[in-house]
Chains A and B, each alone.
Chain A
Amino acid sequence: MSLLDQQRASVEGGGFTRRQAWGLFWLLLAAIVAWLIFAVWPAWLNAVLTSKKAFVSAVMNGLTLAGLYFLVASGFTLVFGLMRNVNLAHGSLYLLGAYIGYEVGARTGYWLIGVAAGFVVLAIVGVLMQVLVFRRLEGDDLRQTLVTIGISIVAADLMLAVWGGQTYQLATPEWLDGAVTLPIITAVRSNGASVFLTYPFYRLVVLFAAVVIGVGLWLMLNRTRVGMMIRAGVDDRAMLSASGVNVHAVFAIVFAVGAGLAGFAGVVGGSALSVAPGEDVRYLLASLVVVIVGGMGSITGAAIGALLIGLAEQIGLVYFPTYGVVLTFVIMVVTLAIRPQGIMGKAR
């Protein structure tokens, strides 16, 4: 905001600048959310929103789901931003990661090795895809997109052939099991005792992991040399190449990180929920919606998009289950109508 703007705003707004007004708005919103979560609800609010337990759990689940969506979508959005190519096989990477995590975890008996294997194997798969497929079709966006659809269909059938149609549940270790009591009072019994919210510990871990990885990605993009190259590549690929950077190496790194994160999310998500054929399409669709809402090519956008979609899905599931799915797409349509480039996207 320029000095001139500020002056004009202060003249028109009677003392408030636009930024101050927004700040006040966010502060108020934060206060309301904090009150909703920590205060003991009056009866009328419980009547409107089923119960505090239901509402707070839906919000927490929305956050965890957002964490998962963010892990999948961050790789997706990076690949798009850099290569102008929608990798429609991204959902298959999620599913393959989950199956590999299951196999490795079941054979070694260590869940963490399964998680690591999901990341490493899929990172290698990502590099192979980049070197063997995308490098050959460079600059041909439409063909790249069509080839990824083909890959996703073939991969889905191959995985069906190997792992069959049944539902797999990845066994998490004992120390991740069970529920923890959070310092959030959901209700007060008639005898005055407070009822605290219990929440599955594993889901808190998933949320925590997503936040750590999100911060890590942000640091990598904004504080390291490779991150600088990636950002430069997102803005202007030709210029980056012209200034002597090996663009192919940068592409390979981005693909490895993106695919690896999808595989990681597969193992982590498969342990929280379950793994079955069809998950690939579900997560591809979720990633698409998340990056369309958040803005293609932006990590922050992916985080915001994932938050919106995750919360919308869970709150919709509790309060209007039949039409919950619609809510996700309403958000997408509204975003496209008001800000076609996405919330954090740059107009190109």
Chain B
Amino acid sequence: MRLHRRSLLALALATGLTAPSLALAQDDTIKIGLLATFEGPFTVLGEDGERGALTAIEELGGTAGGKKIEIVKGSSDASPDSAVRAARKLVEQDGVKVLVGPLSGDEGIAVKDYAKTQPGVTFLNGASAAQDTTFRDPAENFFRFGTDGAQWMAGLGTYAFNDKGYKNVAVVAEDYSFPYTQVFGFMAEFCKAGGKVPSKSWVPIGNKDYSSVIAALPDDVDAIYVALGGADAVNFLSQYQQSGGSAPLIGGSITVDQTVLTSQGKTRDVLIGTPAAGPTADTNDAPAWLAFTEAYKKQPNAFPSPSLFAHAYYINMKAAILGLNEVKGDVSDGGANLRAALSKLSFDTPTGKVSLDKNRNAVADIYLTEVVEGPDGNLLNKLIKVVPQVNQTLGIDEAEFKALGAVSRDNPSCE
């Protein structure tokens, strides 16, 4: 009995001591989950995403709605189940009410589905850019302030057909939702302009040996459209160079990104002159972009120029903080006010104005680029043209766009 009383006393004492500090912690700090690929084939990409997110936090003084931001990191390996596992850990164990992430296409779709089971948590996309994360069957509490992979291709198909004169293009891409979306965006314009795509090679993500795929490419194409990311892109490009490949390349958004352009190895010769399109351009000389690049470069191990992953995480993290500022950091209502604020949020980013459509997907500027050698020898994406305010349906009427069907290996097709 005595023991019982003593332990009760201890318990009461402990509660008394910890309760104020617990309350204090809740008042003073706000936890934001940061989910990115810190392992697997997209590790470098995830690390740069984190740099972007941290750049946004530092820019806004490390606080959101007057509370100190505490980042809780979650790691995935680009597979949907790893992303959901990491998101569940952040939400259900660490108790974050705002989560920024994930990075890769299939991950985005999986986390969107998970978001539906957690209506009290607000999800902001990281850099994942599959179309159906927001376009078909969206989640009320999932926001994407970065654009999707089809939007990123705006202007490229027309440029390849009209200015470069490519009539027949073969496609090599990874076999999952994001490259489907990119190929869709490219072909939407390219096929409309009159181009043909006689062959598409879908390779598994994380594939190492592309030489058989390279050999199977048809000989009579004018160019090869490559939508591969991270280590996959590096492997393809160096093996393409090794096998004496001569057809010029057209790049997907992450194929000629800084994460690939800075890799060690002999990818240089095949890369220079490659046109691509995406949400960023390295030689953009707008003051806002230059200021962003300077702030980004203060992060440890930063690239010479922020990758589109740093950019996407920066924008989504900034949106999260701006939204939290508007509701004074109060998410005690299950985040309803925060989501209302986010839906209406429109702000100027390093790459122009961003606002959301009714599916909570961004409308933003897209940059048409070409790979050039920079003054100090590193490769850069030179800005060719800005395509202003691209929406998710690429300017096509929504019903008509929906009728084109969900992106897949076989859709679209113009052989």
List residues of chain A with CB under 8 Å of any chain B CB.
50-51, 53-54, 56-58, 61-62, 65, 164-169, 171, 177-179, 187, 195, 198-200, 202-203, 272-274, 276-278, 282, 313-315, 317-318, 321-322, 324-325
Contacts and interface: CB of A to CB of B under 8 A. Distances in A.
B209 A314 contact: yes
A318 B211 contact: no
A200 B175 contact: no
Nearest to B215: A57
A169 B266 contact: yes
B212 A198 contact: no
Nearest 10 pairs of A and B residues by beta carbon: A165-B43, A169-B265, A57-B215, A54-B216, A179-B244, A167-B231, A58-B212, A200-B242, A273-B208, A61-B212
Nearest to A279: B208
Contact of A321 (B39, B204, B231): B204
B215 A167 contact: no
A318 B207 CA distance: 12
Nearest to B263: A167
A57 B238 CA distance: 17
B38 interface: yes
B43 A166 contact: yes
A74 to B, nearest CB: 20
Given A202-B242, A274-B238, A51 B263 contact: no
B234 A167 contact: yes
B212 A54 contact: yes
Nearest to B218: A51
A278 B41 contact: yes
Contacts of B234: 167, 169, 274
B212 A277 contact: no
A324 B40 CA distance: 20
Interface of B: 38-41, 43-44, 46-47, 175, 201-204, 206-209, 211-216, 218-219, 230-231, 234-235, 238-239, 242-244, 263-267
Given A178-B244, A200-B242, A200-B243, A57 B202 contact: no
A276 B204 contact: no
A276 B41 contact: yes
Contacts of A313: 209
Nearest to B42: A165
Contact of A317 (B46, B212, B218, B239): B212
A178 B239 CA distance: 10
Nearest to B231: A167
Given A167-B231, A317-B203, A322-B175, A273 B216 contact: no
A112 to B, nearest CB: 18
Nearest to B264: A169
B212 A165 contact: no
Given A171-B266, A274-B238, A322 B202 contact: yes
22 contacts: A51-B218, A53-B215, A54-B215, A58-B216, A61-B211, A65-B209, A164-B43, A165-B39, A165-B44, A166-B263, A169-B267, A200-B244, A203-B211, A274-B208, A274-B235, A274-B238, A277-B39, A282-B208, A317-B203, A317-B209, A321-B202, A325-B204
A178 B246 CA distance: 12
Contacts of A318: 212-213, 215-216
Contact of A324 (B38, B204, B230): B204
A229 to B, nearest CB: 37
B242 A179 contact: yes
A166 B233 CA distance: 12
Contacts of A164: 43
A166 B44 contact: yes
A53 B244 CA distance: 14
A169 B242 CA distance: 13
B153 to A, nearest CB: 23
A277 B43 contact: yes
Contacts of A274: 208, 231, 234-235, 238, 265
Contacts of B211: 57, 61, 200, 203
A73 B388 CA distance: 55
Given A53-B216, A318-B215, 4 more contacts: A58-B215, A198-B244, A273-B209, A273-B235
Nearest to B265: A169
Best-buried of B212, B230, B235 by chain A (most CB within 10 Å): B212
Contacts of A315: 212
A279 B173 CA distance: 21
Contacts of B204: 317, 321-322, 324-325
